[in-house]
């Protein structure tokens, strides 16, 4: 695994784990996605109670399609394999922390 970047198989394995999973769907050509990258990485370091992953929609289009990702960045929060929160567009770190705070 390259840092937080995962492929489809690694992602499915994360979803079956014990921790809630925060996923950042992104692409290298997307400006707002590049802004979110460092924020998502900070969250991963600071919140070890959750699993954090990034999925490049250009490299894993079938995963993006499966979860109906129409715009990027899109952040999905999973618990028990189910989506419990969806955030479309770039957000601040404090807003992202609010998103995961009630886990």
Average pLDDT over residues 47-74: 96
DSSP H or E segment with residue 22: strand 21-26
pTM: 0.94
**35-55 pLDDT per residue, tens:** 999 999 999 999 999 999 999
d(CA 15, CA 67): 13
Q: Which fold has domain 8-101?
A: Glutaredoxin (3.40.30)
pLDDT at residue 1 is higher than 70: no
**9-24 pLDDT per residue, tens:** 999 999 999 999 999 9
Q: Active-site residue numbers?
A: 30, 33
DSSP state of 2: B
d(CA 5, CA 36): 14
Per-residue model confidence (pLDDT) at position 97: 96
């Amino acid at each position: 695994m390259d840092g937080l970047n995962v492929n489809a198989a690694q992602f499915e394995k994360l979803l079956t784990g014990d921790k809630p999973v925060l996923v950042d769907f992104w692409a290298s050509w997307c400006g707002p996605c590049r802004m979110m990258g460092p924020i998502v990485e900070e969250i991963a370091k600071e919140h070890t109670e959750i699993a954090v992953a990034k999925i490049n929609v250009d490299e894993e289009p079938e995963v993006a399609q499966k979860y109906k990702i129409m715009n990027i960045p899109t952040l999905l929060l999973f618990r028990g394999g189910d989506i419990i929160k969806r955030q479309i567009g770039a957000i601040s770190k404090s807003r992202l922390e609010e998103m995961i705070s009630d886990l």
